[in-house]
Amino acid sequence: MDITEIKVRKLLSDGKLRGIVSITVDGVLAVHDIKIVQGEERLFVAMPSRRDDSGMFRDIVHPISSSSREDIESKILSAYRMELDRQAAENADRS
């Protein structure tokens, strides 16, 4: 499996939600509404989810293995940081 595209759709600075991302896998499958969340100790990636009948949130899409989760999270957080840097540079150029 290869993540062929990562789009940072939205960056946020208030609250724990820091961004919303979409990825494309192997050029054939898109996954939207992946959230970048500021946790107690670090940023983490939350997969798209919905609330079930009991009120619990359940992932709609998720990696099966922990190594796949780590790989996906690493790539998404790297793209997120690159987008933050790009926007900071763009804002500095405007000043």
Query: pLDDT (tens digit, 9 = 90+) per residue, 36-51?
Result: 999 999 999 999 999 9
Q: Return the CATH fold of 3-94.
A: Arylsulfatase, C-terminal domain (3.30.1120)
- pTM for the whole structure: 0.90
State the 10-residue block means of pLDDT for the chain, 95 residues long: 95 95 97 96 96 94 95 97 92 78
Sketch the domain layout of the chain as residue ranges.
Answer: 3-94
How far from 55 is each of 19, 37, 51, 52, 86, CA to CA, in Å? Answer: 24, 20, 5, 5, 39
